[in-house]
Structure 1
Amino acid sequence: MSDATFRLESSEGDGDAKDVLVDLAAIVGNNLRRLRVRQGHSLERLAKQSGVSRAMLGQIETGKSVPTIGTLWKVASALGVPFARLIATEGGHRAQVLRRTEAKLLTSNQRQFTSRALFPFDGERQVEFYELRLAPLHREDAEPHAAGTRENLVVAKGAVEISSGSERPVVLSAGDAILFEADVPHSYRNLGVDEAVLYLVMTYVEAVG
């Protein structure tokens, strides 16, 4: 997903989103510091490996800055962990219901792209499930994910062109699916004049703690 500015939104309204944003900054900061220290990285070393400045990493760890979704992908890839590990909270093993009305969305400033996690951020996992929505004629470019990461996409609505690395773009219509390697630059482009809806299953080589 691109490194354009993203923010969290609540399906309930902007008031809830502000509280979520504050909570997210603290959660990401704590998780980043714990993972970095556990792997023996200094801020300088992680900055070189991720391409994210030392100053920005420091602001993220102290909860002073909420990173863009693109920055999170870069840091997660450098640490070799699934994206969700950076925004995970502790949780139990009982059934969890994720109400649509309570969903928190990662949304671009222009609202041309939204990503809704269809799983709880409650610990390490090897598979993640997302709902993606693309505005008419919008193209969303994605950073390479951790080595070995694969994406399995199905189009629920619209016609979408998927590009992955040096492979030829593939056009998918409603009901079509694709499985591809996502550890290379890739993109999703809505070819229609209406919103496109996709469901994404992202699989990592292993769940890293």
Structure 2
Amino acid sequence: MTDATANGLERSQVPAVDPLERYIGSTIREMRQKLGLTIAEISEQTGISRGMLSKIENAQTATSLETLTKIARALGISLSAFFRNYDVPTGSAQHVKNGEGMEVVRRGTKRGHTYHLLAYDRGSTKLFEPFLIAMDDASEVFPTFEHPGVEFIYMLEGKLEYRHGQSTYLLEPGDALTFRGDIPHGPEKLIELPIRFLAIIHYATSDGDRMSRE
């Protein structure tokens, strides 16, 4: 028998560790150590032998619900809290640090007017675009914009008049404005500088978008 065959047999004889048992064992150990408790102290409180507790923590044995309830009580938590992190889907959040949004150029914009894109769609379908927009040049002349979907603006700093179609709106910190993107829109007059606001463009899905149709 070759070494490779022997090693293969040895590996095949090692029982696979159940993911739930591994989670239970590592969670018990983590909580116990966080509380500064020893296996002996948990054993004394629960009546479960130290050997059994050691096997549970190392995922070497299955745990009954009754046993797990005793351990949870000794740790001062409920069973629901014990399992709150089990089988949670892997996250894929996109974290953009302050000042690290990608600067983009939009048609007609000049100095004193910056767009920072705060999130980037990674799929084949663009769902939304969130921008942090900053303006600090009152002499700039702005073009009008038109695009699919619905746009939401939230004022953070400064004051300006914003045009949408034939209407203008005075926007101050804390104000919000939502409108159809396919109607000409854009800043009309910068009143108080510097100006910063969030602009989020939501593109219609296959189900349609009520505001974009109305």
| Larger Rg belongs to | 2
TM-score (norm 2): 0.46
Q: Which has the higher contact order (CA 8 A, sep 6+)?
A: 1
